[in-house]
Structure 1
Amino acid sequence: MNAPFIPAKQLKLIKIGNSVGVILPRETLAKMGVELGDTVDVTDSPEGIGLRRHDDGFAVQMEAAREVMKRRRNALRELAK
């Protein structure tokens, strides 16, 4: 079953010092459950870039997963065949 189509919101990139930033609309921040000063995580997947509220528990789990994938690279490669 396909996910429902959600139209994309266009956001403009702006210069912030020597960096580039984007202003997130208030509704987006509320939906994410974040506010000024909070930390967010950026994820990269085949579907694109994702932005989510930082979760310490998730970050610890991902680090453990990365370590296992690093140590067991050959076994995982064989299982993927």
Structure 2
Amino acid sequence: MSALKLTQIGNSVGVILPKEMLAKMNLGKGDTVYLSEAASGGYLLSPYDADFARQMEAARRVMKKRRNVLRELAK
């Protein structure tokens, strides 16, 4: 566990993530991270968006099921 300090950034407050943590999460300047509540009552910071992943899985199912229709529409 790492202790992070809150820092004034303009009119907002931000957290500076250590270089090692960014490298481990494969993140860089401008990337988006998601904050979600964990089952334990805490919070989880992640580059993974669970809602987006569910939407993409639903889209993949539709694309697989309607493959021929999509192929015809692409002509």
Note if 1:33 corresponds to 2:38: no
Asked whether the equivalents of residues 42 and 50 of structure 1 are also in contact (C-alpha less than 8 Å), the reply is yes
Q: Give the share of equivalent positions with the same residue, in percent.
A: 47
Larger Rg: 2
TM value normalised by structure 1: 0.57
The runs of at least 4 aligned residues of structure 1 exceeding 3 Å deviation read none
Separation in structure 2 between the aligned mates of residue 12 and residue 19 of structure 1, nearest angstrom: 14
Kindly provide the CA deviation profile for residues 25-76 of structure 1, in whole angstroms up to 9, marking residues without a partner as x: 0000011111101111111123211111144xx33317xxxxxxxxxxxxxx
TM value normalised by structure 2: 0.60
Aligned to 1:5: none
Unaligned runs of 5+ in 1: 1-7, 63-81
Alignment RMSD (CA, Å): 1.7
Asked whether the equivalents of residues 39 and 54 of structure 1 are also in contact (C-alpha less than 8 Å), the reply is no
Unaligned runs of 5+ in 2: 56-75
